[in-house]
Every structure is written in structure tokens, then in C-alpha cells.
Amino acid sequence: MTSPSTPGIVPGRLPADAIAENFDDLHAPLAPHEVQVAADRCYFCYDAPCVTACPTEIDIPLFIRQIATGTSEAAARTIFNQNILGGMCARVCPTETLCEEACVRELAEGKPVEIGRLQRHATDMLMARQGHPFTRAAPTGKRVAVVGAGPAGLSCAHRLAMKGHDVVLYDAKSKPGGLNEYGIAAYKSTDDFAAREAEWLMGIGGITYEGGMALGADLTIDALSESFDAVFLGVGLGGVNALGVAGDDKDGVRDAVDFIADLRQAKDLTTLPVGRNVVVIGGGMTAVDAAVQAKLLGAQNVTIAYRRTRTRMGASRYEQDLAASHGVQLLFDVQPVAVHGNGAAVEVELEYTVDHGKGLEGTGETIRIPADQVFRAIGQSLTLDGGLEMDGRKIRVTDAGRTSHAKVWAGGDCTSGEDLTVVAVAEGRDAAEDIHKVLMG
């Protein structure tokens, strides 16, 4: 609903047909002929650099060869053996900075093999079949609690279930999926794919989902470690950092992750309010996703304000260019100093910054830009009260996700490392293998 004090934030800025077109699939699936053309471009390199660049180490030349020879379902099995969330990763992974950047075709011609879209083709084909492609091992009698049903938790739960363990999967949200369900741009995952993928994944059996159960409020590490043979934490980063400037609490200022979650769960996007002049503070993927979607909803002016240079921006250059192509203005070397307005946001005041090698400093020179809606996207934090050793704001882990607690493993965004879906999947998978090894002696 729109507050009377924020008249600039209204729903229905665009007609329904325009919004539907704007939020169509960013990368439509390849047509059959396109699949063959794309697969035929692969050199099937021995010791392929694309495999090394993939955090889940999928045998990319093998699955592309399988596609080229007409066995796409075998290709999907090759993918799912390493990455059970290969369908979502094909849609959201920054392949342009991972496997495709390392592709020999990219180095030689400036145009890589379309690995991501070929992966989507294969995984979509197998997921469309009835039944699950993997079967469970004989029951081990061991029970494992997995807290957090995002990419790391889902990956861990599936691998544990496949090994024959019984898994209880907890999450604070009513639906599983984590960031895949609530935190990525809607045009990257259309047709309720995140929910369908989670349901398909849990079709292996042996996984019980318990929604509305948050760590700290409903669950404790001590209680879980007493009730289960092992515990895996894939809780992500739930807290959003505040701007810490005057006016941060004005109407119209909110967290970008909440805006994205509302958008992802909305049944009718024409009912979702958006401002006329939107400013997003931050430089990561969340900032880009919020900014682009605000523009797609009909915001007239959308600006991303980032405190450092373009090269330091967390979002890839591809994502930056995607934002610019949708009319989003990118401002670099600026930091917020105040949000102005009488009760509701009207303007954001930004100060130019400089880094002389001794840390970021304000120059004292400021600008003001109109803003009736301001999104905070300056990073998230972890609030954890469980006696685990921490590495700054994240859980300290060694080996395959082992924490300082003998029965607790962790992976994904709540641990140190890159905050990427594919990295979280790899960490959940590897932790499951280590848990299995420990449980089975």
C-alpha cells in the first residue's frame, strides 16, 4: 500500500501488458537448431579451462558433447552429478566472468560457447520428465538438520538424502529456495522456476521441509546438535546494513532485498508500488536487480549510487551494462550523507569520494538528486548466537565447511568466500560429503 506521505510511490505506473513484456525471460531458451549450432562451437578441450573456472567443476566439454550427439538427458545427469541446482545456475550464474570468460573461443574470437544456455537446455529437458533422476542409498539411520533452504542448504540436503540419511530442512520462510525464491530478479527466473526446482530436488525423498523456523528465534545450535547426528548451517545473511545517515528512517527508504522479495512473491506486478525517482545505494548484484526492476515497473528516473570506482563494483560489468541498457544511471565515487524530506524522502544528498590508498575519504563536495524512493543495498550481515568461531561477520570454516563445533558444518553466504549461487551449491555439496564420511566412520 502507498503511504499518504509518499505520494510519488504508486502502483500501476505501466499497463499490465507492458510490465509482462518487461519481466519476460532475460535469456530465452535456445531453439533446437540453436542448440546444435551452439554445441558445435565447442572444441571439447582436454584439461578445459572452463571446468577449472566452474566452482562446481562440471565436466563442461563432456555435457556439451553429449548434447551435440543427441543425448541431452545424459548431459543433464553430467551436470546434476556436480550441481543439483544446475537449472537455476544456468539462469543466474555470472557465466560471463566464470566458465564463458575462460572459454577458448572467448579468448580467440571474443565470443564464447554459450555454456549457460546449453546447460539450461539440458537441465530443463531432464527436469520436464516425470520422476527424479537419482535414487537414495539404503537408509543409514542417521538424521541431519539443515538450517536454511537456500542454494547451499538445498544442495547439502539433496546429497545427504542421496547417501541414505534422513534430513529435516528448516527455513525461516514458508517456501524453500532462499535467494533463488526471494532474492534474485524476476526476469532471471520466470514461471515460478525456483519453487518448481526445489520441489523437484526434494523429490528424491528423505527430506522433510519445516518452514517458519528461524535460527535464534525457533531453533538453537545447541538443541539441534543434541537432537541430530549432524547440523548444516546455510542461513545466508539476514540483516541488511543501515545507511547510517540522517533521514535513513524516512518514509520511502527501505531495504532493497525486501523490495525484491515483495516483487518475487507478487501475484500481480501492477499492484506493486514504485517511486518516480528511485535511488539505489550500493554496488552489488542486489543493487542492480533492485534498480533494473524499479525501471521495469515504470520508475521514471533510477540511479545507482556507489561509493567507489566502477572497477570496484561488486556487480559484474555485464550486469552494469544491463542496468545501463534499461536506462539506469550509474554514479560512481559518491556516498550518501543525508536523505532529505519532510517525513518522506524527497532528495538524496551524495558526497564525492576519493581513495588515495589509505581508505575512502569524502571530498566535502556534494550533490543532491531527487528521490521519493531509496533502496539500501550496501551489504548484509549475519546475527548468530551459537558460540561458533567467527571470521569477521561470517562463520569461520575449515576443510569442507567444518566449524568450531564438532557436529556443525556451514556453507554459502554465511561463511567467507564469494557470495554466488554456484559457490553456495558447491559448498553445500562438499559439506554433505564430509558429513557423510564422518557419520559413517
Q: Tens digits of per-residue pLDDT, 115-173?
A: 999 999 999 999 999 889 999 999 999 999 999 999 999 999 999 999 999 999 999 99
Q: At 75, list the grid cell.
A: 548431459
Beta bridge partners of 232: 146, 409
Q: Are residues 244 and 370 in the same domain?
A: yes
Q: What percent of the chain has pLDDT over 70?
A: 98
Q: Are residues 321 and 200 in the same domain?
A: no
In Å, how far are 243, 281, 360, 363, 364 from 352, measured between CA atoms?
A: 16, 14, 10, 6, 7
Q: Are residues 323 and 347 in the same domain?
A: yes
- pLDDT confidence band for 244 (50 / 70 / 90): very high
Q: Given 336, 361, 376, which residue is the final one in a domain?
A: 376
- Cα three-residue angle 192-271-322, rounded to 5 degrees: 60
- pLDDT confidence band for 385 (50 / 70 / 90): low
Q: Return the H-helix or E-strand segment holding 305.
A: strand 301-305
Any idea what the CATH number is for the domain that residue 183 is in?
3.50.50.60
Q: What pLDDT was estimated at residue 383?
A: 73
Q: What pLDDT was estimated at residue 2?
A: 41
Q: Are residues 228 and 172 in the same domain?
A: yes
* Cα distance between residue 26 and residue 319, in whole Å: 12
Mean pLDDT of 253-270: 96
**Does residue 5 sit within a domain?**
no
Q: Are residues 268 and 180 in the same domain?
A: no
- pLDDT confidence band for 106 (50 / 70 / 90): very high
Give the up-direction half-sphere exposure of residue 275: CA atoms within 13 A in the CB hemisphere: 27
Confidence check: pLDDT of 238 > 80: no
pLDDT tens across 73-91, in order?
999 999 999 999 999 999 9
Q: Are residues 286 and 363 in the same domain?
A: yes
Give the up-direction half-sphere exposure of residue 351: CA atoms within 13 A in the CB hemisphere: 12
The one-letter amino acid at 39:
A
DSSP class per residue in 327-370? T-EEE-SEEEEEEESSSB--EEEEEEEEE-SS-EEEEEEEEEEE
**Does residue 407 sit within a domain?**
yes
Q: Are residues 271 and 230 in the same domain?
A: no
Q: What pLDDT was estimated at residue 4?
A: 40
Q: Could you say which DSSP state residue 234 is in?
A: -
**Does residue 356 sit within a domain?**
yes
**Does residue 184 sit within a domain?**
yes
Q: Are residues 159 and 95 in the same domain?
A: no
* Cα distance between residue 60 and residue 106, in whole Å: 15
Mean pLDDT of 167-190: 96
- pLDDT confidence band for 307 (50 / 70 / 90): very high
Q: At 324, list the grid cell.
A: 545501463
Confidence check: pLDDT of 3 > 50: no
Q: Are residues 248 and 370 in the same domain?
A: yes
* Cα distance between residue 418 and residue 425, in whole Å: 12
Q: Given 335, 354, 376, which residue is the final one in a domain?
A: 376
Q: Where are the beta strands (DSSP E) in 134-269?
A: 143-147, 166-171, 207-211, 230-233, 239-240, 253-255
Q: Are residues 119 and 216 in the same domain?
A: no
Give the up-direction half-sphere exposure of residue 189: CA atoms within 13 A in the CB hemisphere: 29
**Does residue 216 sit within a domain?**
yes
Give the total number of structural domains in the chain. 3
Q: Are residues 386 and 420 in the same domain?
A: yes
Any idea what the CATH number is for the domain that residue 87 is in?
1.10.1060.10
**Does residue 13 sit within a domain?**
no
Confidence check: pLDDT of 5 > 80: no
Q: Given 127, 155, 171, which residue is the final one in a domain?
A: 127
Q: Residue holding cell 514461471? A: 191
Q: Specify the pTM.
A: 0.95
| 239-240 and 380-381 strand pairing | antiparallel
Mean pLDDT across the chain: 95
Output phi, psi for 264, to 5 deg.
-65, -30
420 SS3 class: coil
Q: Are residues 58 and 89 in the same domain?
A: yes
Range of the domain at 59: 32-127
